[in-house]
Structure 1
């Protein structure tokens, strides 16, 4: 991959990971109530779920499209179109429903960490769209013409690390950003930012596949 491709992948992943959503609200809630360290530990449940779904998606693509470059290119075009669709949907989304974040001080009597970790995992694994998202995104950065399982697995792991890093930053500064990141205006702005980036990069990736 070129430097531009790497930067594009990292930027897309950061924007997607940083946009307000259920995982973000759950993390901010935990960080405010139980402190950033415990919330980051619980966050690994969500990241682990995303890692599993990404690897499943990668394995399916590698197995089905092996030695079929024409069909793989068709998948890349379909994936680029899906990214554009996600961008349009996000841009047109006027509001994002988020939970109420409590402004309590860290609670020393936090609930069972395993229970919290399981809840975090279920939030991540309960979104089957992640499978489609990885299937749409990963092929855009494969230049050999056929799917490479090891390369896809590396991108999935990198995606998980980026999400963990971005949300960990949220956890550390949760008390300062809680009201901003869960407000209706944050949902509107976040949706527009995600929309613009996805439409732009989806279009660019689709054109690069055609040429």
Structure 2
């Protein structure tokens, strides 16, 4: 039990630290409301569950050991974050256009749940740091003599559920502040900052070593 409690503590510290998952959840909640934010969180936690399954089956170890494959996943994930960041910056600039501010231009389409889920899923699966994290963290909390596959998978699923709960809370809080955040100047600022953060995170992932 003490080993599992230690795992919960470490997991919470990791999950609560702002990163790409938090940034994408906030962005999508602004674009599509609480539903889009929650589905983004669901996509992210689904990606983590896939990483957990791959870790349990030994696939992640192969990924980490293969430099070309690891780099391919890393650069693809980094490029996707940069893409989402540029989209956020474009939306911020579009909303600052005089015609949009005056309500004369066609409003942007609201982000739908399926798109939000897909963005969360791709973002998480494109982050090779999750592979390294799962491969290095989960085995430390498997009880001695325990069945490794089910134990690793179980810990990974617990981590994913914790992530879903935390990010869904983020989405709820952002959505509840909707009236304030929907003010044109406030929303443009948040979208611009979120875009810059996503681009910065993408560049950091692409350039940092393991």
Per the normalisation by structure 2, the TM-score is 0.57
1:54 to 52, 55, 69: 52
Counterparts of 2:50 and 2:131, CA distance in 1: 9
Query: Does the CA contact (< 8 Å) of 1:18 and 1:166 recur in 2?
Result: yes
What is the distance in 1 between the residues matched to 2:117 and 2:57? Answer: 26
Partner residue, 1:143: 143
| Residue of structure 2 equivalent to 1:115 | 115
Matched position secondary structure for 1:144:
coil
Query: Equivalent residue for 1:24?
Result: 22
Asked if the contact 1:139–1:147 (Cα under 8 Å) also holds between the matched residues in 2, the reply is: no
Cα distance, 1:42 vs structure 2: 2.7
Distance in 2, matches of 1:134 and 1:20, equals 18
Cα offset, 1:147, TM superposition:
5.5
The total of aligned residue pairs comes to 144
- Deviation sequence 1:114-142 (CA, Å, 0-9, x none): 23322211110001121121111111112
Q: Structure 2 regions of 5+ residues with no counterpart?
A: 63-84, 96-106, 182-189, 195-210
Is there any run of 5+ residues in structure 1 with no aligned partner, and where? 65-98, 184-211
CA distance in 2, matches of 1:129, 1:158: 18
Structure 1 runs (4+) deviating above 4 angstroms are: 99-104
TM-score (norm 1): 0.57
1:47 deviates by 1.1
Deviation at 1:38?
Answer: 2.5
- Change in 2 beyond 3 A, CA 1:147/1:129: farther
- Hey, what does 1:167 align to over in structure 2? 167
Higher helix share: 2
Root mean square deviation, CA, Å: 3.5
Indicate conservation of the 8 Å contact 1:27/1:39, yes or no: yes
Write the mapping of 1:191-202 to structure 2, written as runs, cut at 5 A: none
